[in-house]
Chain A
Amino acid sequence: MERDLRQISLAQGTVIYEPGATLDTIYFPQGGLISLLVVTKEGGSIETATVGREGAVGLHAAIGRRRSFTLATTQIAGRFSIIRAARFEQIAADSRAVRELIARYTELLWAEAQQAAACNAVHDAASRLCRWLLQCADRIGSETVPLTQEFLAQMLGVRRTTVTLLAQTMQKKGLIKYSRGHIAILDRAAISACACECYHVLHADRLPAAIGISLEAHSGGGKTNGRV
């Protein structure tokens, strides 16, 4: 498949798929991150899943012409490998291993979306913010997440002011350092303690291993502190 892949760079906020669009290209993040968002009729949005270097967007196009259910945008800019869906469908038809990997990853993404639905309904904004920061850091392979508070608010489905106040609180406690457009994780252990259980379900332990997909996590030291 490697000879069929093309490398591109995408800026933050690039719309990859609008809801309802035909999936004609598969996107494999190499250093960037893609968000799958549900958009309300008022124009608000909330993230239901993220796709980093562990996965791809549009994989189910391998089983025929498919449409995107969500808005897919580049959450974090970076490099992406892409392949035409029609070619990918041919490759998948010829390879059981590829079909198996698609099935497993789709299972993980489905589980993540279900978990996100529960998370948004029952977990507080501070816990969700902590989860989201760790999730992003894991998926881009860096403890510095290049995101504005405005974008973060969009991902969490809250007002930017709410993110500012929570981020300031975390900064006062030494958990993060925020400078324009970048959030650096300073105390991963403390953030992990503040994160909702969804981070541990989806990323740190149970589900990825059960499905057979690796989500590399950074180890981190530092003091352990209380909640945000």
Chain B
Amino acid sequence: MYYFHLRDTDTVIDSEGTELANETAARDHAAGVARELTFKSVGMMQRQWSDWTLSVHDDKGAELFSFALSEYETGGK
């Protein structure tokens, strides 16, 4: 199980998690989520995507990797 949290000064927790085969699949999934969140959008909670990080954790809570949402920003308003 992998968990995908959003962080800047706030934290938005993925409480549900997603069953994925391995870390490579988790990276692909994270990239997809980032594209969906940033599509035609400039940010969240009145803050730009450049302020937000997507952080991926395993089911023990250890962070596996993270990246800035701005890396996936597409077609902002």
Contacts and interface: CB of A to CB of B under 8 A. Distances in A.
B28 to A, nearest CB: 11
Contacts of A164: 14-16
Contact of B4 (A125, A126, A149, A161): A161
Interface in A143-179: 149, 158-162, 164-166, 168-169, 172-173
Nearest to B40: A124
B33 A168 contact: no
Nearest to B76: A124
A226 interface: yes
Interface string B1-27: 000101000101111101000000000
Interface in A180-194: none
A180 to B, nearest CB: 10
Contacts, number: 56
Bin the interface of chain B by size. Answer: 20 to 34
Q: Which 5 A-B pairs have the closest CB atoms?
A: A124-B41, A124-B40, A162-B36, A158-B36, A161-B33
A82 to B, nearest CB: 35
A165 B14 contact: yes
A65 interface: no
A166 B6 CA distance: 10
Interface residues of A, number: 21
A126 B41 contact: yes
A165 B6 CA distance: 8
B12 A123 contact: no
B36 A172 contact: no
A97 interface: no
A111 to B, nearest CB: 22
B29 A168 contact: no
Nearest to A150: B16
A126 B33 contact: no
A126 B46 CA distance: 13
Contact of B45 (A123, A124, A162, A173): A173
Given A124-B39, A125-B39, A161 B45 contact: no
Interface centre among B12, B29, B32 (most CB of A within 10 A): B12
Nearest to A149: B16
